[in-house]
Amino acid sequence: MINKIIDKTLKLKYEDLVKKDSLLPIKVSNFYRKKIEEEVQTIGICGPLYKSVIPTKDKIEVKTSIETRDYVEENNHMPVKNVDYIIRKYNNRLVFIITDICFAHCQYCFRTYNLSKYQAGNTKKTIVEKITTLKNYLKNNKEIKEVIFSGGDPLSIGYENLEYALKSLKKWDIRIHTRAIIYEPSIFTNKIISLLKEYNVRLVFHINHPYEICEQVQDKIKKICKAGIRMYSQFPLLRGINDNSLVLIKLLEIMDNLHIRPLSIFIPDPISYSACFRLSFKRIIKIIDEVNFSTPSWINSTRFTMDTTIGKVRRENIVKWIGNCITFSRDNKEVKYYDLDEGIDTPTQIKTLLWKENY
Ligand code: SF4
């Protein structure tokens, strides 16, 4: 079916890059594909949901002068020798890459390189081994209070593995970052919801666009909410997907109505093959101001933030800005961020981003 909505030559070129340059293969869930088909039928292949999971010509061809494979340098924050699934940047919490499998592959994924490299899968053996290693590390690092399940999508590991993981780690606060709610909402069965409730999990949804929240997704979110599970949101600011304050405000309003607490909107990392998703920093600041100055605090309390190798930084952490190079500082450490080259960032028209409304 995907063949119908992607140019054959472009697909071949992309598949070649998957092999040569470790990009993630195209993967789209049936649930999400139906939404893309509706979008394509109405506005063609320029829409926000299409661009989220299908490679475009710009994804392959647009480059900016400074890009890197792994801007946040996760490899430098792996405290256990030869273990690439425990990432620790903070004193009291760590990230646990419980799986490298996702329900669909996001074209802008900042972990593209690492995910395509690991591909260890979701077997019980892999999960048990990973948890044993993690528990040994936690035993010797008692200051860690929270384990953040990330991936991949932690909810792709299935009920049995998830139950095992949550039971094994019940002494720690567990946070799960997931995009399953919009790619495969059917996985939120009553059984999974009860399990998440039983272990008092915090669920952090990654939802980028208002049209990802259809009625079916809303129904699931309401069930999760009714069960008393704490829900939050975190998502990236992406050109062609949500690069307009009106889209962000609409999304935050919808999520607020569904009792999802907003945490952060991420400024995308300057990674390879991401130039078509990035915004110039000047435009990022303009969007932040538009959101801040036109909304009540339950919307504008959302932080615009960027993950770096020294931890999360925000606009107020900028200490130097010379040409394309912006320096951020925190905890007496500095990190450089390289802005997009001039002329790359063309704002997406609101009538494309919110094509269902009358703009
Ligand atoms: S679901 Fe998350 S980990 Fe998986 S491809 Fe998308 S952004 Fe990357």
Write phi, then psi, for 270 (nearest 5 degrees). -80, 65
**Spatial separation of the C-alpha atoms in residues 6 and 121, rounded to whole Å:** 28
| CA 5 – ligand 1 centroid, Å | 21
User: Considering only CA atoms, which of 263, 265, 184 is closest in space to residue 230?
Assistant: 263
Task: Kindly state whether residue 358 falls inside one of the protein's structural domains.
Answer: no
177 touches ligand 1 (CB under 6 Å): no
Residue 120's domain spans which residues? 2-353
pLDDT, tens digit, for every residue of 140-189? Answer: 999 999 999 998 899 999 999 999 999 999 999 999 999 999 999 999 99
The per-residue pLDDT for 121 is: 64
Task: Share the mean pLDDT of the chain.
Answer: 94
Give the angle subtended at the CA of 271 by the CAs of 177 and 284, to the nearest 5°: 80
Residues 6+ apart with CB under 8 A from 299: 249, 252, 253, 256, 262, 291
Three-state DSSP string of the chain: CHHHHCCHHHHHHHHHHHHHHCCCCCCCCHHHHHHHHHHHHHHCCCCHHHHHHCCCHHHHHCCCCCCECCCCCHHHHCCCCCCCCEECCCCCEEEEECCCCCCCCCCCCCCHHHHHHHCCCCCHHHHHHHHHHHHHHHHCCCCCCEEEEECCCHHHHCHHHHHHHHHHCCCCEEEEEECHHHHCHHHCCHHHHHHHHHCCCEEEECCCCHHHCCHHHHHHHHHHHHCCCEEEEEEECCCCCCCCHHHHHHHHHHHHHCCCEEEEEECCCCECCCCCCCCCHHHHHHHHHHHHHHCCHHHHCCEEEEEECCEEECHHHEEEEECCEEEEEECCEEEEEECCCCCCCCCCCHHHHCCCCCC
List the residue whose alpha carbon is closest to atom 7 of ligand 1. 109
Residue 326 has pLDDT above 90, yes or no: yes
Task: Kindly state whether residue 195 falls inside one of the protein's structural domains.
Answer: yes
105 touches ligand 1 (CB under 6 Å): yes
pLDDT, tens digit, for every residue of 244-269? Answer: 999 999 999 999 999 999 999 999 99
Task: Kindly state whether residue 234 falls inside one of the protein's structural domains.
Answer: yes
Burial (CB count <10 Å: 0-12, 13-18, 19+), residue 183: buried
CB of 147 within 8 A of CB of 172? yes
Residue 124 has pLDDT above 90, yes or no: no
- Number of domains comprising the chain: 1
Write phi, then psi, for 223 (nearest 5 degrees). -65, -45
Q: 1 or 280: whose pLDDT is higher?
A: 280
User: Considering only CA atoms, which of 94, 150, 166 is closest in space to residue 118?
Assistant: 150
Task: Kindly state whether residue 18 falls inside one of the protein's structural domains.
Answer: yes
User: Considering only CA atoms, which of 292, 287, 266 is closest in space to residue 345?
Assistant: 287
**Spatial separation of the C-alpha atoms in residues 358 and 40, rounded to whole Å:** 18
State which ligand 1 atom lies nearest to the alpha carbon of 177. 2
State which ligand 1 atom lies nearest to the alpha carbon of 151. 3
User: Considering only CA atoms, which of 4, 31, 3, 88 is closest in space to residue 215?
Assistant: 31
Predicted TM-score of the model (pTM): 0.95
| CA 106 – ligand 1 centroid, Å | 5
User: Considering only CA atoms, which of 105, 130, 126, 119 is closest in space to residue 33?
Assistant: 105
pLDDT, tens digit, for every residue of 38-93? Answer: 999 999 999 999 999 999 999 999 999 988 888 888 888 999 999 989 999 999 99
Q: What is the mean pLDDT of residues 332-357?
A: 96
User: Considering only CA atoms, which of 4, 150, 238 is closest in space to residue 251?
Assistant: 238
Q: Which residue has the tokens 């329900």?
A: 103
What CATH number should be reported for the domain holding residue 8? 3.20.20.70
Percent of the chain with pLDDT over 90: 88
33 touches ligand 1 (CB under 6 Å): no
The per-residue pLDDT for 120 is: 59
Task: Kindly state whether residue 359 falls inside one of the protein's structural domains.
Answer: no
Task: Kindly state whether residue 22 falls inside one of the protein's structural domains.
Answer: yes
pLDDT bucket at 123, cuts 50 / 70 / 90:
confident
List the residue whose alpha carbon is closest to atom 2 of ligand 1. 152
Task: Kindly state whether residue 157 falls inside one of the protein's structural domains.
Answer: yes
**Spatial separation of the C-alpha atoms in residues 192 and 153, rounded to whole Å:** 15
